[in-house]
A and B are shown apart, each in its own frame.
Chain A
């Protein structure tokens, strides 16, 4: 079984400041890692994913996450946030192979302050 911990339920950040959303996981098998974003009144959208290869993965809108196997972490970062980044961010894992459903963290509400 897998579990995901997002320690911060809410992160307030000023616009144009950097941000890091933390995600730690535990699993007895190799995993695939994902970050999903949920804007108000919308469904979850995939932000980025780690399947294999380079441990640093990037999204098209400036977010990046680094897989750290020794620390079992997959923290999400962005060097400069915008008001439009205000949303709920979910970290999720699935067993390697991707055939199973996802195990989600509780989510982190990113609040961008002007």
Chain B
């Protein structure tokens, strides 16, 4: 149980275009989903926290207008990279925390490799 999927697993786009990445909790409901970014040989950096039905909370230094997050249902959150540039190329990983008290564990998706040319 507790499976999180991401789609697509990898994407190549041209500079200036927008890309949407989906994160789904397949067998549980997730009130909260998190988006992370991982550079090669680097750690995962938290970008934003997404709560179902409300606006996402962005970490300091993350441009909310560039990285649009929508959490429209208890099983789906999307990250849209708008007007992508080569420096946005990275590995984007989402995680989901199950709904309910005492639920601290985050379940991670397999990640999406974004390459902007």
Binding site for B on A (CB under 8 A): 4, 9, 32, 36, 41-46, 49, 51, 90, 94, 98-107
Contact A43 B108 (CB under 8 A): yes
Sample (15) of A-B pairs whose CB atoms are under 8 Å apart: A4-B43, A9-B41, A32-B104, A44-B108, A49-B105, A51-B104, A90-B44, A99-B32, A101-B36, A101-B59, A101-B106, A102-B34, A103-B46, A104-B36, A106-B41
CA distance A19 to B59 in the complex (A): 35
State the Cβ distance, A44 to closest chain B Cβ, in Å.
Answer: 4
Contact B49 A106 (CB under 8 A): no
State the Cβ distance, A57 to closest chain B Cβ, in Å.
Answer: 13
Interface size range of chain B in the complex: 20 to 34
Q: Does B93 contact A (CB under 8 A)?
A: yes
B95 surroundings in chain A (CB, below 8 A): 44, 101-102
With a 10 A CB-CB cut-off, give which of A45, A98, A103, A106 has the most chain B CB atoms: A98
Residue of B4, B42, B46, B103 touching A102 (CB-CB under 8 A) = B46
Contact B43 A45 (CB under 8 A): no
Given contacts A9-B41, A102-B46, A106-B43, 18 further A-B contacts (CB under 8 A): A32-B104, A43-B110, A44-B44, A45-B108, A49-B104, A51-B104, A90-B43, A90-B44, A94-B104, A100-B49, A101-B34, A101-B36, A101-B46, A101-B106, A102-B44, A104-B36, A106-B42, A107-B43
Contact A101 B93 (CB under 8 A): no
State the Cβ distance, A100 to closest chain B Cβ, in Å.
Answer: 7
Residue of B46, B49, B93 touching A44 (CB-CB under 8 A) = B93
Residue of B34, B45, B97, B111 touching A43 (CB-CB under 8 A) = B111
- Convert B23-53 into 0s and 1s, putting 1 for each residue whose CB lies closer than 8 angstroms to a CB of A: 0000000001010100001111110010000
A104 surroundings in chain B (CB, below 8 A): 36, 43-45
Contact B43 A36 (CB under 8 A): no
